[in-house]
Structure 1
Amino acid sequence: MDPMQHTTSAGGRGFSRKWTFILLLAILCGTALGIYVWDKYVPNSKHEQPDFGGLKKPVFYQGKMMEHAAIGEKESLKLPIDTVKNELDPNLTYEASTGSIIITTQNKVVRLRTSQLTVMVNEKPFNLKFPAVEEGGIQFIPMDPLKSLYGVELRESEETGAVLMFKEGDSLHWSKAIAYPDKPERTIPLRSGPSIKNTIYVDLKQGERVLVWGEEGEWLHVQLPNGYMGYVKKDQLTPDQDEVIPKEEEPKSFVPWKPKRGKINVTWEQIVNKNPDTSKIPAMPGLDVVSPTWFQLDDGEGTIKNAADPAYVKWAHANGYQVWALFSNGFEPKRTTDALSSYDKRMKMIKQLLAYAQMYSLQGINIDFENVSLKDKQNLVQFVREMTPLLHEQGLILSMDVTGKSDSESWSLFYDRKALVDSLDYMMLMAYDEYWASSPKAGSVASLPWVEKSVVQLMKEDQIPASKLILGIPFYTRIWTEDPKTGKVTSKAVFMETPQRIIKEKKLTPVFSPETGQNYLEYQEDGKTIKIWMEDETSIKARMELVKKYDLAGVASWRRGYETPEVWSLIDSYLAGP
C-alpha cells in the first residue's frame, strides 16, 4: 500500500469525526435553546377544573376560603359558627349544655337556641324565619341575625354555590379583563398560579370583572364572583370601579355619667348587719357617688341576697349623691363557679340586679368579685358582657373592682382586665393591701411606689384607658406588732384618726419614709415593736397626685366612716383643680 494514500485516508476520517461532533453539538444546542424558549415563552394551554377542596358551599372572606362550608341557600343560608367567631365576632359564645349561641354587642344580648325559631334579644322574644341548627357536629347561624347584628353581606353564587362574605366598610377593588377590539373572541387565562406554565382555571371573557386580593410580581391574585380564584397577568387587567360595602347607621353609644368637673369621687359604704343611720353621717363635700355593699351572691343558682335600704337611697339623692350598689360574690369560689356556669344562671343574676335597680332608683351597679377560680375567667367576662347592654338599656352605669396584678390565681390572674374593660364604664383599681392582715412581714397597706406601679401596669399591659380607670385608695391603716420573743408579726386595721390619737397620747413624732411616700411611726410597747405606715393628709395628697399625673377618671375610697373629716375637702380640691 502506498504510504501516502494511507495518510490521506486517516486524515479524512479525522475530518469527518470533527464535523460530526460539531453537527451533534449544534443539534444539542438547538434542542436546549428550543426547550428554554418553550419553557420561558410558550404558555401552558392545559385547563383544570377549579377545586373547592370538596366543599359544596365554600365561604370566602378577602380571598381566603374558610375551613367549613355554609349550608342552605338564599334566605335559608347559614354560616358555620367558627367562621362567625373567627371573622366577625371573637366574643361569640356557644354553650353546649343548653345548645345556646350567645352574641353580645354594644347594645344587645342575643341568645339563639338550636332548632328554635324564637330568639331572645335583651331578654325579649323575637321570631326568626330560619333557626340555628346543628349539622355534622357543627353549629350553623342563620343569615338574618348576622346581617342585623354585624352588618355582614353575603353574596351567593347560583353557578357554584360559593358564598363571598363582606363586612360593612370593606373596600373592594374590582378590575376587568382587557378588551381586544379587533379580536372579540380572544380570552384571558385565569391560571392556578403566578406563571404562564400553570394550568388554566377559567378563560375570562373580555370585560369580565374580578376582585383583586393581592399581587405577586407581574401577576394579580383575583377572584370571580362565583368563588373561583387564580392569577392573571397585570397587563391583562384594567382597574374598574371600586366598591365600599355600606355601613349601617351606628347605634347611639351609651355615655356614662360623670360630674361637671370631669373627675369622679366614689366611696364604698360597708353594710355588715344593718344600714347606717344616715342622720349621723357627716357632710362629705365633693363626694359624687356612694356604693353600699347591698347585694351578695347567695347560692350557686344565682340567687342574690338583698340588703338595700330605700331610706339610704332617699338620703343619698337628697345630698346629690348617685347610688352605685355593690354586688359581691361573697368571695366564695365554688358558689361563684356554679352561678357563672350557664347563661340562665348569669341572666338570673342580671335580672335581679335590674329589678333592684328599678325598685330602689339606683344609678349604677358595682361588681366586686374576688377569690374566684382561674377556670372561671372567661365566664366572668361573659357575665359582664351580658350584663352591660341590659344595664345600659336602663341608663345604669356598670363598674367593677379589680386588684393590682400579681401571680395569685384566685386574687388577680382570674381577672381578664383587658377584656372586661371593653364592657365596663369604669374599672376601680383596689390599690391596697400590699401587705395584708395576715402578712408574715410588716409593711404599708399601700406604699406610693407600689400603687403607681399597679396603675402603670394596668394602663400599659392591659391597655386600660385612663378615662375608665378609677384609683381605689384606703381610708385605713394597720398597726403592726412585732414580738422579738416569739418572732410573730400581727396586725389590726384601724381608722385614719387612730395613729393621730396615739401620737398625741404618747407624744411621738412620725418621720417621713421616702421608700413608701408616707409618714411612718415606730415605738416600743411591752417589749414589742409597733410599726404604723400612716394614712393621713400626706398620703392622700400623694395618691391624688397620681390621679392627676395619669389623668385617671377619679378616686374611690374604702371605706366611708374610716376617714378623718378634712379628707373630703382635700380630695375635692384635687379633683376640681386644673
Structure 2
Amino acid sequence: MDSKFPPAGGTRSNKNRTIRWLLFMLAIGCALILGTYYWAVYVPNRQHVQPDFQGNPKPVFYQGGMMKDPAIGSKESLKLSFETVRERIDSTLVYEQKTESTIITTQNKVVRLRTSELTGLINEKSFTLKFPLEKSNGKLYLPIEPLKDLYQIDLRESAETGAVLLFKEGETIRWFKTVAYDGKPDKTIDMRRSPSIKAPILADLRQQESVIVWGEEGDWYRVQLVSGYTGYVRKEQLAADREETVPAKAPEPAFMPKQPITGKINVTWEHVVSKNPDTSKIPAMPGLDVVSPTWFHLQDGDGNLQNLADPAYVKWAKSRGYQVWALFSNGFDPKRTTEALSTYDKRMKMTKQLLSFAQMYGLQGINIDFENVDLDDKQNLVQFVREMTPLLHEQGLVVSIDVTPRSGSEMWSMFYDRKALIESVDYMMLMAYDEHWASSPKAGSVASLPWVESSIQGLLKEDKIPPSKLILGIPFYSRVWTEGVKDGKTTVSSRAVFMEMPQRIMREQKIEAKFDEESRQNYLEFTEEGKPAKIWIEDETSVRARIALVKKYDLAGVASWRRGFEVPEAWKWVNEELK
C-alpha cells in the first residue's frame, strides 16, 4: 500500500540543511555587524577639508576663540575694533558719539582719540598718531600703536593667513610639539575638526611641529596653529614642550601725595554757605589732620563751577598744620549733574577748574561730594572720576569721594558704583549718618552704632573696599524729635542740633539720659514747649564707640560732619581713640 508521507530519513536531511543555512546567514550577519562596528569605531576618517575662518577676512583670536569682529590693516597699520578692545583688553573704554571720541583711562593717564584725526591727547597734552581711528563697515577701529603703549598686550599676526592672536600680560601659553616617528619622516599627524577619528582632517601636521594647547576633551587636545587654525589632536601624538608667559607691563608709578599723612587720618568738613568763617574764633582742634571746606559747587550744566575759596582760610589752616582738601559738590541738582557729566569736554572743564583752584590756593586735595544723582548717570560719574584723578594726581593732590551706605534708594545710594570708584580715588568717605533724616516718618538715631557697623561691613564685604582706603564719616550733631497728632495720627518732626544742646537740656531740666541698648547711645526724653521730645545723643560715649569701629576694622581714619557742631572736648575724644 503507498504511504502518504516521505521517508523519515529525508525529513531529517532537509532540517539539517535549513539549520546549516540559518547558521551560515547568522555568521554572515554577525560578520557584517562586527565589520560595521569596527569600521565605525576603529577606522579613521581620511577625508580632508580645507580649514577656514567661517568667512572672517582677518580673524582675531583670544585663548583659541575667534572674536566677532575681524581686524583690519596689517603690521604697523593693524587695527582692532572698539568692541574687541573693550571686551578683551579694557572694559572701561568709552566711546562718546557726540564728539566721536574714544577715551582711555589708566591709573595715571587719560587718553582722548578722535575718529579720523592723527592728533590725540594724553592728560590734555597733544601727541601724534601714525594711523588714525577709522570706521569700517559701520564699526570703529583703533590703531594698535597707542594700545601697545598703554597695555601690555602681545599681538601675533600670521604671515600665512593674516589671523591675529591676542595675548595679555601675565597669561601663560602652553606650547606642545607633535611626536616624532623613528624611520618614518614623512608620517604626519592629523588635526581634526572635532575630537573624534571620524571627524574630517583639517591639517596634516609635520612631526615636531609646535602648536598651542588651549584645553582638552577626553583623549584629545584642543590646539591652535600659529596660522590661527584650530582643531583637535590626540593626546598621544603631542608632547609638552614649554610654557611661555607674556611679560607684565612695568607698573605705573604709585601716587604719592605732596604731603602724605602717617597713621589714621582725622578729617573734618567746614560748611561754607556763602561766607567763610572767622578763623580767629575757631578753637584748637588737637589731632586734626585735614579740613575740607565746602568751597566748589557745580553752577550749571555746562560744567562751570562756583568758587567760595578763601586764601586767608588756607593760610590759617597751614599755620595750624592742617591740610586742605577742598570739597567739590554737584549742588545736589540731578538735572544739572546729568548735563555736566554728559560729555568729555564738560567733564574736563570741571577738572581743569579744580586744577586751577588747587594751584591758586595751594590745596593738598579735592573731596568729591556728588549726591542726589540719577541712576542713569552712574557710569558717567565713574568716568568723570576716572578722567579727573590722573590729572589731580599729577599735581600731587589727594582725591577722595563721599558715598552713602548701601541701600535700595536709587538717588541716595544706588548711583554710586563703589567698586569702580575705589579703583581711582585715594580715599572713600562713608557718610554713616542720617539713618533717620530730617523728614523721616519715624523718630530715631542719626546713626545708631549697629547701623553704622553694618554700613561699614557692607562696603568692606559687598563692595570690596580696602579698609586702608575707607574713612568713616561721623556726625557731630543730633536730631530733636517732637511728636504731634494730625488727623488722628501721630506725626513726628525734627531739627538738627549741636552736640552741646542735649547737655544744656539736662542741666536746665535737671534730668538724666539713659543708655539705649538698641542704638548703643545715650537717649533722652524731655518736654519742649509743652510737647514730648526725644533725642539720641551724640556725646563722648557715641564718639568713642565710632572711633572704636575705625580701629576694629582698621579703617583709614575718620571724617566729622561738621566743624562747629561739636563741643570742644570732642577733639580730645577723637584724638585719644584714634592715635
Question: Taking structure 2 as the reference length, what is the TM-score of the superposition?
Answer: 0.97
Counterpart of 2:40 in structure 1 is 39
Give the distance between the partners of 2:180 and 2:73, measured in 1 at CA. Answer: 38
Give the distance between the partners of 1:441 and 1:185, measured in 2 at CA. Answer: 87
Post-superposition offset of 1:59: 0.5
Give the distance between the partners of 1:427 and 1:357, measured in 2 at CA. Answer: 20
On the 8 A contact 1:79/1:141 being kept in 2, the answer is yes
> What does 1:425-436 align with in structure 2 at a 5 Å threshold?
425-436=426-437
The one-letter code sitting in structure 2 at the alignment partner of 1:210 is: V
The one-letter code sitting in structure 2 at the alignment partner of 1:345 is: K
**Partner-residue secondary structure (3-state), 2:214:** strand
Q: Which digits, 9 at most, give the CA deviation of each residue in 1:18-62, with x for residues without a partner? A: 111111111111111111111221111001111212101111011
Give the distance between the partners of 1:445 and 1:157, measured in 2 at CA. Answer: 65
The one-letter code sitting in structure 1 at the alignment partner of 2:535 is: I
Post-superposition offset of 1:260: 5.7
On the 8 A contact 1:266/1:556 being kept in 2, the answer is yes
Counterpart of 2:573 in structure 1 is 570
Counterpart pick for 1:561 among 559, 564, 570: 564
> What does 1:428-507 align with in structure 2 at a 5 Å threshold?
428-484=429-485, 487-507=490-510
**Partner-residue secondary structure (3-state), 1:366:** strand
**Partner-residue secondary structure (3-state), 2:99:** coil
The structure-2 alpha-carbon separation of the partners of 1:485 and 1:88, relative to structure 1 and needing over 3 Å to count, comes to closer
> What does 1:178-189 align with in structure 2 at a 5 Å threshold?
178-189=179-190
Post-superposition offset of 1:247: 2.2
Counterpart of 2:122 in structure 1 is 121
Moved more, 483-492 or 230-239: 483-492
On the 8 A contact 1:256/1:425 being kept in 2, the answer is no
The one-letter code sitting in structure 2 at the alignment partner of 1:508 is: I
On the 8 A contact 2:258/2:396 being kept in 1, the answer is no
Give the distance between the partners of 1:340 and 1:126, measured in 2 at CA. Answer: 25
Give the distance between the partners of 2:510 and 2:94, measured in 1 at CA. Answer: 63
Counterpart of 1:89 in structure 2 is 90
Post-superposition offset of 1:4: 8.4
> What does 1:224-239 align with in structure 2 at a 5 Å threshold?
224-239=225-240
Counterpart pick for 2:540 among 537, 540, 551: 537
**Partner-residue secondary structure (3-state), 2:313:** helix
Post-superposition offset of 1:524: 2.3
Q: Which digits, 9 at most, give the CA deviation of each residue in 1:120-167, with x for residues without a partner? A: 111111111111111222111111111111111111112111100011
Counterpart of 2:263 in structure 1 is 262
1:309 aligns with 2:315: no
Give the distance between the partners of 2:269 and 2:300, measured in 1 at CA. Answer: 24
Equivalenced residues, count = 576
Counterpart of 1:324 in structure 2 is 325
Give the distance between the partners of 1:168 and 1:114, measured in 2 at CA. Answer: 28
**Partner-residue secondary structure (3-state), 2:384:** helix
Post-superposition offset of 1:257: 7.5
The one-letter code sitting in structure 1 at the alignment partner of 2:139 is: I
Post-superposition offset of 1:549: 1.0
**Partner-residue secondary structure (3-state), 1:390:** helix
On the 8 A contact 1:188/1:236 being kept in 2, the answer is yes
Give the distance between the partners of 1:234 and 1:498, measured in 2 at CA. Answer: 80
1:509 aligns with 2:505: no
Question: Taking structure 1 as the reference length, what is the TM-score of the superposition?
Answer: 0.97
Post-superposition offset of 1:241: 2.5
Post-superposition offset of 1:488: 3.4
The one-letter code sitting in structure 2 at the alignment partner of 1:544 is: I
Give the distance between the partners of 1:485 and 1:207, measured in 2 at CA. Answer: 90
Gaps of 5+ in 2: none
**Partner-residue secondary structure (3-state), 1:54:** coil
Post-superposition offset of 1:261: 4.7
Give the distance between the partners of 2:334 and 2:235, measured in 1 at CA. Answer: 62
Give the distance between the partners of 1:112 and 1:260, measured in 2 at CA. Answer: 37
Moved more, 324-333 or 478-487: 478-487
Give the distance between the partners of 1:139 and 1:253, measured in 2 at CA. Answer: 33
On the 8 A contact 1:258/1:264 being kept in 2, the answer is no
Give the distance between the partners of 2:454 and 2:479, measured in 1 at CA. Answer: 21
Give the distance between the partners of 2:254 and 2:56, measured in 1 at CA. Answer: 40
The one-letter code sitting in structure 2 at the alignment partner of 1:329 is: N
The one-letter code sitting in structure 1 at the alignment partner of 2:241 is: D
1:155 aligns with 2:142: no
**Partner-residue secondary structure (3-state), 2:155:** strand
Moved more, 145-154 or 11-20: 11-20
Counterpart of 2:24 in structure 1 is 23
Give the distance between the partners of 1:6 and 1:39, measured in 2 at CA. Answer: 50
**Partner-residue secondary structure (3-state), 2:195:** coil
The one-letter code sitting in structure 1 at the alignment partner of 2:515 is: F
Counterpart of 1:62 in structure 2 is 63
Counterpart of 1:146 in structure 2 is 147
Post-superposition offset of 1:10: 3.1
- Aligned sequence identity (%): 63
The structure-2 alpha-carbon separation of the partners of 1:402 and 1:14, relative to structure 1 and needing over 3 Å to count, comes to same
**Partner-residue secondary structure (3-state), 2:98:** coil
Give the distance between the partners of 1:183 and 1:35, measured in 2 at CA. Answer: 30
Give the distance between the partners of 2:185 and 2:54, measured in 1 at CA. Answer: 34
The structure-2 alpha-carbon separation of the partners of 1:196 and 1:485, relative to structure 1 and needing over 3 Å to count, comes to closer
Q: Which digits, 9 at most, give the CA deviation of each residue in 1:454-477, with x for residues without a partner? A: 111111111111111111011111
The one-letter code sitting in structure 2 at the alignment partner of 1:199 is: P
The structure-2 alpha-carbon separation of the partners of 1:485 and 1:56, relative to structure 1 and needing over 3 Å to count, comes to closer
Q: Which digits, 9 at most, give the CA deviation of each residue in 1:432-461, with x for residues without a partner? A: 111111222221111111111111111111
Give the distance between the partners of 2:491 and 2:177, measured in 1 at CA. Answer: 83
Give the distance between the partners of 1:525 and 1:185, measured in 2 at CA. Answer: 103
On the 8 A contact 2:151/2:249 being kept in 1, the answer is no
> What does 1:292-307 align with in structure 2 at a 5 Å threshold?
292-307=293-308
Moved more, 334-343 or 439-448: 439-448
**Partner-residue secondary structure (3-state), 1:240:** strand
Post-superposition offset of 1:248: 2.6
Gaps of 5+ in 1: none
Counterpart of 2:348 in structure 1 is 347
